[in-house]
Amino acid sequence: MFNETYELSNGVIIPKLGLGTWLLDDEQAAQAVRDAVSIGYRHIDTAQAYMNETGVGKGMHSCGVAREELFITTKVAAEAKNYDAVTQSIDESLAKMRLDYIDLMIIHSPQPWSEFREENRYFEENKEVWKAMEDAYKTGKAKAIGLSNFLQDDIENILASYEIKPMVNQILAHVSNTPLELIEFCQKNDILVEAYSPIAHGVILDNGEVKVIADKYGVSVAQLCLRYDIQLGLVVIPKTANPNHMRINADLDFVISDADMETLKNVEAIQNYGEHSFFPVFGGKLK
């Protein structure tokens, strides 16, 4: 998988497979980045909210591979909803990671987490946030800019007045929970979709129905889920600090049949993400 890439609408090349780092602390993130890069990963996903940008930066600077060969994504905090807060947060991310530029900078959420998917859509604020993102792009602090957790109307709000078009939307997309209409809308608008929690935060691993299909291809459930997202044209960013899992997650050299893709699209939705259900992205609210 390591040589497989997509091209963003501005011509920037992004590896299809990246390493997720949510819930890793600085030390774990630094080691995970070094391990991942030595295995062949070149794309790392972090966020201001993960509190591990310093560790990700340390891992990048000590991994033995040149900065230009790495693709690093970070996310502006969901709570930063005005121009100055966004600009300052981008400068802080650069300082923490000791970088001159970020490859992809995205808005973590259209709403602050405590109001995720609630009535106030922050449309006006997000236009101002987008202006700050555009300026970060124009000044070279970010090579590409985009969105995360944006629904169709959140995206339309940006598309109504952009100067620079968003290049990606990073959203929850995994077997049993694939927002096909939103994906289609993004793809029609030349916005690359990145699938976060591509193996359902681990919750899908013991799903019997999915396991039967994985067995048919002689792969693990994790591999089947990653391949499924790739075949939908999505970037995948599975999280692991386990080098063995990193290797397995990059071994996706098989093709899921059209019939099995249809079956996987219709696997009964996961309702419960276990101990992590309180996170907004899994339907809960962080207070």
Ligand X SMILES: NC(=O)c1ccc[n+]([C@@H]2O[C@H](COP(=O)([O-])OP(=O)(O)OC[C@H]3O[C@@H](n4cnc5c(N)ncnc54)[C@H](OP(=O)(O)O)[C@@H]3O)[C@@H](O)[C@H]2O)c1
Round to whole Å and give the CA distance between 42 and 272.
32
Q: Which stretch binds ligand X (CB under 6 A): 53-61, 194-202, 211-219, 260-268?
A: 194-202
Binding to ligand X by CB under 6 A, coded x per residue (else -) over 48-87, reads: ----------------------------------------
Q: Which of 33, 36, 214, 222 binds ligand X (CB under 6 A)?
A: 222
Asked whether position 198 contacts ligand X by CB under 6 A, the answer is yes
Identity (one letter) of the amino acid at 156?
E
- In sequence order, the 6+-apart residues with CB closer than 8 A to the CB of 123 are 154, 157
Residues in the chain: 287
DSSP 24: -
Round to whole Å and give the CA distance between 282 and 59.
29
- Report in angstroms how near the CB of residue 205 gets to ligand X at its nearest: 6
The residue sitting closest to ligand X, measured at its beta carbon, is 20
Round to whole Å and give the CA distance between 117 and 132.
23
Asked whether position 207 contacts ligand X by CB under 6 A, the answer is no
Q: Are 198 and 171 in contact (CB under 8 A)?
A: no
Number of continuous H segments (helices) and E segments (strands) in the chain? 10, 10
Q: Which of residues 132-191 bind ligand X (CB under 6 A)?
A: 148-149, 170
Q: Which stretch binds ligand X (CB under 6 A): 83-91, 152-160, 231-239, 251-259?
A: 231-239
User: Contact residues for ligand X (CB under 6 A)?
Assistant: 20-22, 45, 108, 148-149, 170, 196-202, 205, 220, 222, 237-242, 245, 248-249, 281
